Amino acid sequence: MSDLVKIVRFHKTGGADVLSIDELPLPEPGPGEVRLRVKAIGLNRAEIMFREGQYFLEPNLPSKLGYEASGIVEAVGPGVDPDLIGKVRSTVPAFPLNQYGVYGEVAIVPAGAIAAYPENLSFEQGTSIWMQYITTWGAIVHNGRVAKGDYVVLTAATSSIGIAATQIVKAEGGIVIATTRGADKRDELLAAGADHVIVTDEEKDIAGRILEITGGVGAKIVFDAVAGSGILKLAKATARDGLIMIYGNLAPEPTPFPIYEAWGQGAQGRPFKMMGYTMFSITGDPEALKSAERYLYEKLESGQLKPRIDRTFPFAQIADAHRYMEKGQQVGKIVVTL
């Protein structure tokens, strides 16, 4: 085994060009940690924001990067079960991004942040699980309490989380209303399981369209990745006691609180709730995380959930993979292989 390993770091914040592949001494796991020999890395938009200095965590420069990797446990630190060595595992995003990072030939992560996944999944699929499915399970099942026949609106639905959310809603018997900017993604979303697709570049009355689809009832859950002023339209199309969850911020403008829409909905007997949401409300709760992992393992093993991979890049092209994600054209997960 080489004494040097390749690790992706950035020494200043900025565009994809700041990413460098540095040769560093092979790190040893500390107490409560494991070392994973990485086989595949799953990319997430949060990592772009972190690299740019736009995330809610401040990078400690030079900073490592990355939440999701799959591979083989090759070393454990004090206090960790040595039987884990040799096991195939993937990382659960349950650690601070400014303390740990998985972009590299190896990754040191807390032992509590690795999990087994079904053996029928490849390394590429295994690294495409936890961020997207825990995020959507927490929103749709845990918080939203989706039930058979409920209408669920998913914005920016071609993302990996959008595709995962579509699968979970369908597994629970719900009805998916997916939104996307361009008509070129309509067929992709329908093929992925969406029941209805709204192309926002073509249909400006989003609220009216949602109400038309739902027969005037509105959406039980709005799972919004975009935020911005569009939240005002979505609020008008929310069902009685519905829930709006904002988990992303792709809009170029600030996000207003829809106070007039809330008053108007309440006056019509259709009050709704609204919350900012992140996956960390689940990964930070041991019982909720255990429930999520159990649910997702069963659904993945049965085939009800199947991670969709849009494109893979070799490790040497990690910066190109970031540039591709920045374009926002993918349908599913972007994966880097080693």
Share of the chain above pLDDT 70, in %: 99
* Single-letter code of the amino acid located at 272: F
**Mean pLDDT of the chain, nearest integer:** 94
Does 288 map to a domain?
Answer: no
Q: In this structure, are 123 and 142 located in the same domain? A: no
Report the number of distinct structural domains present in the chain.
2
pLDDT at residue 309, rounded to an integer = 94
Q: Domain containing 208: what range? A: 132-276
Domain of 60: which CATH number? 3.90.180.10
Q: Is 224 part of a structural domain of the chain?
A: yes
User: 184 and 121: one domain?
Assistant: no
pLDDT exceeds cutoff 80 at 39: yes
pLDDT at res. 97: 93
> Do residues 9 and 138 both lie within one domain?
no
User: Of the ranges 59-63, 104-108, 269-273, which one carries the lowest mean pLDDT score?
Assistant: 269-273
Q: Are 67 and 177 part of one and the same domain? A: no
Residues 141 and 154 in one domain: yes
Judged against a pLDDT cut of 90, whether residue 16 lies above it is answered with: yes
pLDDT band at 261 (very low <50, low <70, confident <90, very high): confident
> What pLDDT does 328 receive?
84
0.95 surpassed by pTM: no
The reply to whether 122 falls in a domain is: yes
The answer on 141 and 104 residing in a single domain is no
What pLDDT score was predicted for residue 85?
98
Closest by Cα among 279, 232, 223, 278 to 255: 232
CA separation for the pair 166, 160 (Å, rounded): 10
- The CATH number for 150's domain is 3.40.50.720
Q: What is the mean pLDDT of residues 24-34?
A: 97
Q: Alpha helix (H) ranges present in the chain?
A: 45-52, 123-126, 130-136, 160-171, 186-191, 206-213, 230-235, 259-267, 280-283, 286-302, 318-327
Q: Are residues 107 and 160 in the same domain?
A: no
